[in-house]
Amino acid sequence: MNLQLNNTIIVVTGAAKGIGAGIAEALAAEGAIPVIIGRNEKDNQVLVDKLTAQGYQAAQVVAELTNPAACTAAIQEVADKFGRIDGVVNNAGVNDGVGLESGSYELFIESLHKNLVHYYLIAKAALPYLKASKGSIVNIGSKTAETGQGNTSGYAASNGGRNALTREWAVELLPYGIRVNAVIVAECFTPLYQKWIATLPNPDEKLKAIEAKIPLGNRMTTAAEIAAMVAFLLSPVSSHTTGQLIHVDGGYVHLDRAL
């Protein structure tokens, strides 16, 4: 299937590694030009170099997304360089373990800025360009908004906000033909996930126990599988899909785990 993404300019936040990198790679393979926005120039450039070495196009912008002015400046830099923006993937974030009992007001607000506020800021800054291109927004979310996890109030609240903003923006942006959807991730083996599980007692046993509860195939979702759905949702091929929270999780959230 031709996703009709050739030469489109797609902003992807937090795309240097993990799920974001998988998204950038999938978009580049479809002929799009992913523009990575992230705080670490070296990490960003590693992926850009990898993609260009494969004959694809890609670019990067360095920005600390917890800084509102940096979000606006990053989008302006993309627009100045390419003259257009056809899509936005809000992906950057971290499951930072800011709980209720263990957290504080300051840490909770900091978590919201790491995980939610920049979703709004990036979309806000990109909106004039998305209106011009009738582009699309895809927000990456987490199961924690629906299932809970324990000791991660900031991250769970942020993901609840991501889900709510997806539906709210889908309604608000209808007049402009801008579609807004979310891809919800459950268990995907990213570098951050690997770092987290390494902190647990008997990490190999824990990983096997988690995989055993994933109904489809008893395995983790791959970044490439997340990325394929994101590319589809950004594409004109999904032209009548908006306001959807799509779980790419092997049935983890909604199927009976007793299976």
Q: Which amino acid is at 58?
A: A
SS3 label, residue 111: helix
How many C-beta atoms surround the C-beta of residue 16 within 10 A? 24
- How far, in Å, CA of 250 to CA of 17, rounded? 22
Our answer to whether residue 252 is catalytic in this structure is no
Of 56, 119, 155, 252, the catalytic one is: 155
- How far, in Å, CA of 225 to CA of 215, rounded? 16
DSSP result, 31-42: T-EEEEEES-HH
Specify which residues 221 forms β-bridges with: 188
Q: Which secondary structure element, helix H or strand E, spans residue 78, and what is its range?
A: helix 68-82
Q: Which residues are catalytic?
A: 155
